[in-house]
Structure formats: C-alpha cells, structure tokens
Amino acid sequence: MQIGLVGLGKMGGNMRERLRNAGHEVFGYDTNPDVSDVDNLVELADRLRAPRAIWVMVPAGAATQGVIDQLASVLKPGDTVIDGGNSRWTDDEKHAEELAKHGIGFVDAGVSGGVWGLENGYALMVGGDKEHVDRLKPIFDALKPEGPYGYVHAGKVGAGHFAKMVHNGIEYAMMQAYAEGWELLEKVDSVTDVREVFRSWQEGTVIRSWLLDLAVNALDEDEHLEKLRGYAEDSGEGRWTVEAGIDNAVPLPAITASLFARFASRQPDSPQMKLIAALRNQFGGHAVESTK
C-alpha cells in the first residue's frame, strides 16, 4: 500500500522504516530536507495514487492544525488523513469536520511505542468511521506488534486519542509508584542493593512490567541516579486526563497525584511549604529553617 508520512522525527522516521520493511511504499515529508523524500506537501500528494492516505506525525496544537489546513487544500475527495500525533480528542472532532467539507476522511491514531517501536511495533488505538479505518488496516497491521494484540478500533473520531490519553495518564501513575518505592528503598539503611531489588521484581511478581524493565536499565546505567536532576516535564496528556475526569465526574486520585508530583519537581523551593512551616511555627513554636 502507498502512504504519505508528514513528520519524520524520532517516531515518524522509525515508522517510515517499519512500513518500508513490511513492503509498503512510503513517501515522507519533513521540514528538515536531510530526511525528507519530497520538498513540500503538494509534491507529497502528487506522488501518491488516489485514493491517497497521509499520516501526520507532528506536535499537537498549532503545528497539526497547520498541516491539516494545508492538506485540505491539496488532497481530493476520497482521500484520508490520519493524525498519529498526541492531539487532544476534541481537536480530532474539529479536524474531521473541517476535512469532511472537502470530502476527505479523517482517522485519529493514538500511538505508543516510542523509540522502541521500530523493533517491537507500535500499540495503536484508532478512532474514525469504519470505512476509513478498514481501508488503512494494512498500514495498521504493519505498524502494530506481532501477534493478536496491540491494535484496536476504539470507536468514532476522537476515540483513538482519548484512549491514548488515558493510557498516558495510567503511565503517569505507574511511573510515580515505581519512583516512590525506589526513593523509600534508597532511604532506609537496611536495604543495601536497591537496584537488585528492582531486578528481582522482573520475574514472578505482580508488579513486573516493561516500565520496570526500563527502570532497571536506567539503574544499570546510573545506580543511584546521581547524574540526573529531579525534574520531570508533562506532555499535556496527563493534564487532559485529569480534566476529562473532572468533566465526567470520574475520580482519578492516583493519576492526579502523579501529575501534581511532576509540578512539584519543578520547584527548587516549595512556596507552599514555606507557609506550612510558618504556620507550624505560629501555632506550635516549631523550628523553621532560614534561607540565610
């Protein structure tokens, strides 16, 4: 099958290679001419036979909107656009409506696999009309991991990115739990080899996972993580998950706490704890530490 791919970064570039390895004809476009197969989106569309399919792998928000706007002007009725970036599901509904005015189909694909996807395959959560999804099934089959799992047509437009958003929210909470356990193990004197404790959990325990395997990899590289600063960004999907929980009155205490923990990591000196220290001093005469 032929497909166009817009955005050839870490994931997009590997996806192009995995698709080509599976025998598909892929034309890629990127603003970096060193990795691009074509010079612009017009040339990309011209290289493809109708009905065309173009997969977009660019940052969510303005960048994705800009590509969608351009594709609406160069594609024809019967073509399909797939957004495989981390767009918000509400944007999917907007993009589908905009493209439908031109007779162009739209599919949203939540993609998980990161830099390991080329070798292991990508978990795909797809949203869109059945006719559009079914036509793209050979592409999904090539990108997904081998075996029966790793792909789902999750529902209508927006369902793919909503599912991926929840996936990332769960990921936040799982990583936070591992991190808290690691810190506690490092804190006590009785445990003398925290890294090997983590390694012992990789087989036969209920908390074994790929994330645990990656944690062991990280500890093998830097046993006490002394080379790292305790600072973690959030991609936006954690926030969207918490907001969706609020909108739907679904309690998400673990995911919400893990998101707030990332916010706390960015504060070298917590303003909140300053007031708490002051209050403890006021009502109980508890000692406070001066900045001087």
Per annotation, catalytic residue among 98, 130, 144, 171: 171
In this structure, the number of other CB atoms found within 10 A of the CB of residue 12 comes to 23
The pairing of beta strand 80-83 with beta strand 2-6: unpaired
Contacts within 8 Å (CB) and 24+ apart, 286-290: none
Compute the distance between CA of residue 11 and CA of residue 235 in angstroms, rounded to an integer: 15
Lookup: tokens for 18: 């995995």
Where does residue 249 fall: left (phi above 0), alpha (psi -120 to 50 degrees), or beta otherwise?
A: left
Question: Which residues share a beta bridge with 127?
Answer: 108, 155
Backbone angles phi, psi at 101, to 5 degrees: -65, -25
Task: Enumerate residues 6+ apart whose C-beta is below 8 A from 183.
Answer: none
Residue 10: active-site member: no
Lookup: tokens for 170: 């769960």
Task: Enumerate residues 6+ apart whose C-beta is below 8 A from 88.
Answer: 60, 161, 165, 236, 240
Task: Enumerate residues 6+ apart whose C-beta is below 8 A from 218.
Answer: 225
Residue 233: active-site member: no
CA dist 271 → 32, 254, 266, 275, 292 (Å): 42, 23, 12, 7, 16
Per annotation, catalytic residue among 97, 101, 137, 164: 164
Sheet of 123-127, strands arranged across:
25-29, 2-6, 53-56, 80-83, 105-112, 123-127, 151-155
Q: Which residues are the active-site residues?
A: 164, 171
